[in-house]
Structure 1
């Protein structure tokens, strides 16, 4: 069993508005991410939220929703809440950011297949030579993940355990793009139309 944890409780500080509820085509950014996860081989999907609107979208797609009471603690708090809410039989956790709207189920499945077919405890996608999201961690690293602090997510563990990391090159770099600014949002809209 592999659990997908969608981290959707950030503040969108650089955007000055909730980027997860912006539209790309006929769907919201967070909806596109949820749909990619639902269409994939993930066995369990958990949405970590701070706003009711995001929770309601999760409920609409029939996925488990977990409230984050301390989003100011950064991405690590979403990770921990998701891990604690996951099925005890889960062999791995995939951490998915909520603002990566061009992510697709094929990329998620590729990460899962890579994990299943290798001995590596961590799988990280690489887009244009840059490490990105989503990342997949074996549940053997659960204790380490629960110790992570701040907004760095699992990056510290990836840096500390290079021999346990399988880097997976993703052909279509657009899949790895996330939204932090209005300009990035506009560019993603254009790219989404060309897909």
Structure 2
């Protein structure tokens, strides 16, 4: 079983407003992420949130919402909250709430690669750059629960380099995190071009 844990309780300090609730086309950024996750092969899905506006969206009933009241401790707190609300025997796939172009096909390929090599830590690389989402097996549960601050799962990935399986993708835009206004403009441009391609 693989649980998708969407980390969506940050403070958007570089954007100066909640970036997840900014519109990209006709939808909020977080809605792209949720749709991609729901349409993937994930067995379970947990959204870790801080802003109550997210709960007002028309969310798929498959998504379990968990409030993170300790978000100020950094991304590690979202990870821990997600793990504690997942089934104990589950493996974990971590999605970022500000990455709208991690399409369901990308998530599915990462899951497929994990099913081929269970026990490996699965890490995608986009044009040679390490990115998200990653899958971390259940056997590292206690180590994930011991994380602190804003380090996220990087500590685990660095520690266990010998068991990482790299999955390569040929477009770096899939790994775009919308952290600032330049990222946002780049995302809008990509979506515009993408939609024009789809309509041809």
TM-score range, shorter chain: over 0.9
Count of equivalent residues? 193
Aligned 8 A contact 2:89 2:138 in 1: no
1:116 aligns with 115
Deviations 1:113-134 (A, max 9, x none): 0111014421011112111111
Task: Give the TM-score, by structure 2 length.
Answer: 0.93
2:49 aligns with 49
Structure 1 segments of 4+ aligned residues over 2 angstroms from their partners: none
Q: What is the distance in 2 between the residues matched to 1:175 and 1:65?
A: 25
Task: Give the TM-score, by structure 1 length.
Answer: 0.96
Map 1:137-156 to 2 at 5 A.
Answer: 137-156=136-155
1:12 aligns with 12
Aligned 8 A contact 1:20 1:28 in 2: yes
1:38 aligns with 38
Deviates more, 1:47-56 or 1:176-185: 47-56
SS of 1:142 mapped into structure 2: helix
Deviations 1:47-68 (A, max 9, x none): 00011112333x6222100010
Q: What is the distance in 2 between the residues matched to 1:121 and 1:150?
A: 25
Deviations 1:66-105 (A, max 9, x none): 0101111111000000000012342x10010000011100
1:22 aligns with 22
Uncovered stretches (5+) of structure 1, i.e. residues with no partner:
none
SS of 1:66 mapped into structure 2: strand
1:94 aligns with 93
Uncovered stretches (5+) of structure 2, i.e. residues with no partner:
195-200
2:76 aligns with 76
Q: What is the distance in 1 between the residues matched to 2:40 and 2:110?
A: 11
Aligned 8 A contact 1:120 1:166 in 2: no
Deviates more, 1:165-174 or 1:99-108: 165-174
